[in-house]
A and B are shown apart, each in its own frame.
Chain A
């Protein structure tokens, strides 16, 4: 039984102080909902009868004796209450504005009312109920029996209250933990529901914040950074228990795509989809220091590397991440993390000491060197296949000021530029990690950007390390700063409640390059001359990345000097120019690969690694719940073809 309280805004006896306290007490005691009513009707009925009555449900029927003045404005009161409380549902029927606004002084404009609703949702997400059909009114002082009869309708029951005692009585009637009320969608929203999703059975713990197409916050959770999406339901757990609830729900919907989303920068993983489920972990973004002496930190999957770098900065620590601070912990720390500190400090997964995760069957485990070691091995490189990481324990490095460089060159001889870069970047001391980005030529000329980090605070050393790179083209722009790592990650844009606005479907190819040979430079130059690749990146590896034995985790490609990424317009077009390059490569980095051909799985994981992964998969996810990112099918022989990389 879900109970709530109804506060009468026209009640002359209840002072606003008490009124506030009643709502807070209700929240504290685990009641589901505060409904604001105005039994006097919000406006007096206009003489001419022209303007719409406010549409408030008057639970107790017309008040016998109308107060001489109007009570509090329900919308203002509801918003105020949202600010005074933190989680309880707030019910306030929006005025019924079907009537054309008549420029009188008492009727609000429908579009302004709608905007007010959206704003409420941005300020206090998921807490507003505006449809009076979402709850049932009980009479003042209703007995336990009466209440349970009303609760039989399956909606929360609200009781008018005017004392703390009464709130306590109601709270005692609801046993168990505080619950979030299931927002009742209007008919219009329900009409946009997708087939195959049992919306009514969304677990109680997730219902309050779940987002459906048509909900006010939907646009903000539909798309990713690079990919447009239109999922049928987005679940937003905030605790491992809630993640387990979400996976339980997903197990009942295996006919639909399932995306696991941390910060939404996925290129390969389908952390959004069409018509399917998304488990969005953005709320789980805590960052805490566990052990200062060992520099152990515990980070939620939804944190971004920008946030992580800022949180670690005061301690003088950092964890090498990618090259962009907007990328999430969950996606990077399950796949690799080839970043600007790579040669000096290794991959992101090299710093992982333990991970808490929720498995496909909903159980919660911790994996580390001595707890579920096989799972821990698999998670670092192929994590997306094995569970949902809910907390990542890293050992941070002590990292002070670094040199951060962004150099822009122009060149007409891209082949030479690539070859020069390849030689210089791989010969550089390991404190230096420099990436190269270029794209289509313009009028026979390429713009080449180098950006990198020198892990040394001394400006002279920084300049010395960068000087050899100056010969790769005609230097057009340079920016070199000495900054903490936070400054390197800090330029990423923050994502607000409007979320990501990605559109289209990225087409990306990725590979490991053992050495950047003259032949590769020549072939890559051809690729760029074709004009079919608008983004081309070389990430320098080696150094500390290569120190880790290749069998140590499910990221076997340790010996490569570079990781190559190319993005193009569509599969057909990019394959024509990319496939001829394959003989240069040894495997692929799954985070940047979107090729749907099944054989790509074998590029991501060499045979022995893949076999070991399948074994572990059979143990931890035998029914293949986790399949949105380079799926390792536990029973490949049972199907006709090996299930490879994801399909769009």
Chain B
């Protein structure tokens, strides 16, 4: 039982299909107009049928007004941290503080190698990510004087100029499942961004995984509530009868979301499916109802 007290966020997870490039943009615009808080895209540069996610994010940011934008999650092995930091900060400035940095250690190493990236073991991947986050935050930090230097095991930076300075504190949300990654999330992340479908035992895994993050946060001298808990739900559907998690009428969705927020501390709900009508109803019906329920419970 842990409610970390964050405001609820609602978002969409849109397939960055190259064949329907404008369709991906349209779904993002729909998300924006439907009042969602977040639009996210997976990042698999080696996937030929997908667009380059960084490019798509910038384009979508330009076409939307209010929604925050993030990769879900950035494939670090093909995105050098300094490049990523500058792109992130630039987009944050351009969009008026609407960019967030979802990031992961990388998967599909064959694909990564095919694009010229190096293959790392799982453990190395975690360490590389830890280094990268440091480099990224250093580049964003324009208050400190002098260039950024980093002589790590995985990354070299030799006096790179800092900046640009993001327009707001960009959140670093880590895609994590395994214990080492969860610990990293707790010690340095601003958020945890997994997918429900990949949790080993679904909702039942949440207490244990949350606890790992909490423990690591406290170990690093932070508070568990410094780490927002986000969640992707890929198989969702509005249907007349309840048939499982986010599969039923809008009221049932709202109740399930409120329960996940109050009992498991989830505070961002991101849905897949690439369906315009589902996105619209999610924003119009589910989000306000779930927010109400949670506010009422918390107000008690």
Contacts and interface: CB of A to CB of B under 8 A. Distances in A.
A492 B161 CA distance: 53
Interface in B57-108: 58-63, 78-83, 86-87, 89-91, 93-95
A115 B19 contact: no
B52 A72 contact: no
B80 A46 contact: no
Contacts of A111: 45, 115-116
Interface string B8-42: 00000000011111100100000000000000000
Nearest to B91: A76
A83 B61 contact: yes
Contact of A122 (B21, B58, B80): B21
Interface in B101-125: 115-118
B1 interface: no
Nearest to A71: B164
Contacts of A77: 58, 90, 94
A76 B51 contact: no
A63 interface: no
Which secondary structure dominates where chain A touches chain B?
Answer: loop
B95 to A, nearest CB: 8
Interface stretch (B150-158, B200-208, B250-258, B266-274): B150-158
B163 interface: yes
A232 B72 CA distance: 40
Given A80-B91, A109-B117, A112-B78, A118 B62 contact: no
A145 to B, nearest CB: 36
B19 A498 contact: yes
A598 B89 CA distance: 66
Contacts of B164: 69-73
Interface residues of A, number: 48
A105 B78 contact: no
B157 A104 contact: yes
A112 B106 CA distance: 15
A123 B94 CA distance: 18
Interface in B161-185: 161-165
Contacts of A84: 62
B259 to A, nearest CB: 38
A48 B151 CA distance: 13
A496 B224 CA distance: 46
B51 A106 contact: no
Contacts of B116: 101, 109-112
A69 B165 contact: yes
B147 interface: yes
Nearest to A498: B19
B69 to A, nearest CB: 11
A79 B58 contact: yes
A505 interface: no
B33 to A, nearest CB: 16
A559 to B, nearest CB: 44
Nearest to B167: A16
Contact of B82 (A43, A101, A115): A43
B260 to A, nearest CB: 34
A285 to B, nearest CB: 13
Question: Interface centre among A72, A83, A106, by most B CB within 10 Å?
Answer: A106
Contact of A497 (B19, B59, B154): B19
Contact of A47 (B95, B132, B158): B158
A104 B156 contact: yes
A44 B146 CA distance: 11
A83 to B, nearest CB: 3
Given A80-B94, A83-B62, A103 B155 contact: yes
A102 B59 CA distance: 29
A69 B161 contact: yes
B295 to A, nearest CB: 35
B92 to A, nearest CB: 10
A70 to B, nearest CB: 4
B115 A112 contact: yes
B48 to A, nearest CB: 9
Contacts of B118: 103
Contact of A118 (B22, B52, B95, B157): B52
Interface in A1-59: 16, 20, 40, 42-44, 46-48
B155 A104 contact: yes
Contacts of B60: 83
A81 B59 CA distance: 8
A544 interface: no
Nearest to B20: A496
A116 interface: yes
Contacts of A102: 156
Given A47-B159, A498-B19, A105 B132 contact: yes
Interface residues of B, number: 54
A471 interface: no
A554 interface: no
Contact of A105 (B17, B61, B156): B156
Interface in B204-230: none
Contact of B93 (A16, A43, A107, A496): A16
A620 interface: no
A112 B52 contact: yes
A114 to B, nearest CB: 9
B204 to A, nearest CB: 38
A638 B177 CA distance: 78
B168 to A, nearest CB: 14
A80 B61 contact: yes
B277 interface: no
B150 to A, nearest CB: 7
B62 A81 contact: yes
A175 B290 CA distance: 58
B83 A108 contact: yes
Nearest to A115: B52
Nearest to B51: A119
A520 interface: no
A122 B86 CA distance: 24
Contacts of B293: none
Given A84-B62, A104-B80, A497 B160 contact: no
Given A80-B62, A106-B80, A498-B18, A119 B156 contact: no
Contacts of A81: 62
A77 B165 CA distance: 15
A136 interface: no
B78 A109 contact: yes
A123 B19 CA distance: 10
A76 B19 contact: no
A249 interface: no
A106 B17 CA distance: 28
B187 interface: no
B56 interface: yes
Given A108-B80, A115-B45, A70 B86 contact: yes
B59 A82 contact: yes
B2 interface: no
A105 B157 contact: yes
Given A43-B160, A70-B163, A123-B56, 15 more contacts: A20-B94, A46-B160, A72-B164, A73-B90, A77-B90, A82-B59, A102-B156, A105-B150, A105-B156, A106-B80, A109-B115, A111-B116, A116-B54, A496-B19, A497-B18
Interface of A: 16, 20, 40, 42-44, 46-48, 68-73, 75-77, 79-84, 101-112, 115-116, 118-120, 122-124, 494, 496-498
29 contacts: A20-B94, A43-B82, A70-B161, A70-B162, A71-B163, A73-B83, A75-B55, A76-B90, A77-B58, A79-B58, A80-B61, A80-B62, A82-B59, A83-B60, A102-B156, A103-B118, A105-B132, A105-B135, A105-B156, A106-B82, A106-B157, A108-B83, A109-B117, A119-B21, A123-B22, A123-B55, A123-B56, A496-B18, A498-B18
Interface of B: 17-22, 25, 45, 51-52, 54-56, 58-63, 78-83, 86-87, 89-91, 93-95, 115-118, 132, 135, 142, 147, 150, 154-165
Closest 4 CB pairs of A and B: A83-B62, A69-B163, A496-B19, A79-B58
